[in-house]
Structure 1
Amino acid sequence: MKKLSLLLLIAALSVMTACSSTNKADTAETNTTSNETKEANTAEATSKVYSLENDGVDQALFTEALSQFPTTVPERIVTTSVPLTEMLQILGITPVGVPTSKNPIPAEFDAVERIGSPMAPDLEVVTKLKPDLLLGAESLRSSLDKSMEGMKLDKAYLSTESFDDLKLSLKVLGTYFKKTDEMNATLTKILEKENELAKLAEGKKAPSVMLVIGTSDSFMVMSEKSYLGSLVKKVNADNIATSVLKVTDTYSPINMENVVAADPDIILVLASGDHGASKDMFEKEVAKNSTWTKLSAYKNDKVHILDYSVFGVTSILNAENALTEISKYFYE
């Protein structure tokens, strides 16, 4: 009987020892996983610190865009895009033709020939200028190809729709034309501003926001594909168009029932009399549809009317200022 008791005791101790070893192993594994997660988070945070070596530009898109340009660097350039015209000015490159536009062209190019609409330039004027490269916006590629059909002319198209598009296109042009000093001077300021905003957002809960733009007869919600949406993304705010409403287009009709359910903290309204949406028009919209007054943003006086000239027009010259201004609505 004593031998049996002794055997049972030994068996019990063995089981306890085994369990203890297992628990220690589990604890060690958990600690290792936790440390690995912390290291991964630290690495991710570090990767978000922008510099000229880590500028956030998609390398594949950069290479693809650069591959469009002719091997021989052209001397006579016409551009149909205001944002790209600004970039040429920054790089110290004077084109022989620039677009006719309501949006401001750099004063340095006041004497440069106007070639007409960004979508359909005047072929007679373009032909007279004898360009060896046409530089246009990617969003208008099909329209420009059609309007310039039959004309022997190298063309290159660059994206200018979002904040990241502007960085990409400036880097492409600066690299191709070997204007890296001028390019880096502008990129450095923008990257420093991005880092400043990331630091400002550290440890703070990202507020939710709805971006609204008006037409002559209605208002629409904007996704992060819009220029304003891309700026909001940079300040780490939660755009409900993407996170809650799940819209896929740049501009989508507003479904107020879904908006009430999302209940954004902030509403930013892009107003422009030229585009049919003034501050007065939005106030009339609210008076017409009382659902707006049920939103927390409305109750807390967090509905802000934005200047279209700052937030509605993509501009590399104004990008730093636009980031500064947009951050005030979220973190000040």
Structure 2
Amino acid sequence: MSVKIGNINLGEFPLLLAPMEDVSDPPFRYVCKQNGVDMMYTEFISSEGLIRDAAKSRQKLDIFEYERPIGIQIFGSNIDSMREAAEIATKANPDLIDINYGCPVKNVACKGAGASLLQNIDKMVQMTKAVVEATHLPVTVKTRLGWDDHTKNVYEVAERLQDVGIKALTIHGRTRSQMYKGNADWSLIRDIKRNPYVNIPVFGNGDVDSVEKAANWRLEYEVDGIMIGRGAIGYPWIFREIKHFFKTGEYLAGPTIAERVDVCSTHLQKSIEWKGEKTGIFEMRRHYSNYFKGIPNFKDYRMRLVSLENVSEIASVLAEIKENFFETAHV
């Protein structure tokens, strides 16, 4: 059976790209789309930033036709601001609006936004209702198990948010207090999936960084699909490898060095197209070590890549990597 969010058909078991601050921009989304991701989200966007017309927030609304289906994710602590932000985001014409109730970082959660709302379910419900009423698009939510081990209240959250009209729920299998430490616990996600009252799609998120985990957790935790975040950074091939395994039961060989270089080059090119040469080159620096993770004796190349400011010089270093590591078929 196909998984549907509103009238968006995502196929039998969709793989979603998580919204990640400073990562899930259009250049990164492009290479993930090339590798078969079923649905993507923008980086999370501040409701206050959208209302103030802040350039950084506005730029995050950029979406492209080839990215569809794509959701714009918004966050905030003020219900009226979130309503207004939903109206602004709707005009950017995404396929859905997603609300972030999961971000654990201090400057979000300690300002009453993101995962902070897990401490005030009534306010979370009111905010969600306001967003649902402000747009004709499907509204989805991403959240965590709870604020800490004593308040794992996502079971209640799932029921109450469904009641006010959300069309899907993604749950990261950690509490806010865990941040990204320890292991994600998906057992509560399975409990929600088994709740006969919950009939919207439930997606699992947290720690999926291999074909084995995706395959095992699909069966064990009974989710409708999986959202992948950190596992895709520098490794967009994870989507095609998981899909290949689901389809054939066989493992796909990992990317060759040549493929790593080619995708890294494409990412760089898209980064420059979207942000301009100077910013595009600078922001790409955080990705090089991830693209070439596990390659022996790579440090010198990485140091060169993160120090160069000229596209043709970076291209020649990448060509050198391709040539020098040609013998290493797969890492």
TM range (shorter): under 0.3
Length-normalised TM-score, structure 2: 0.27
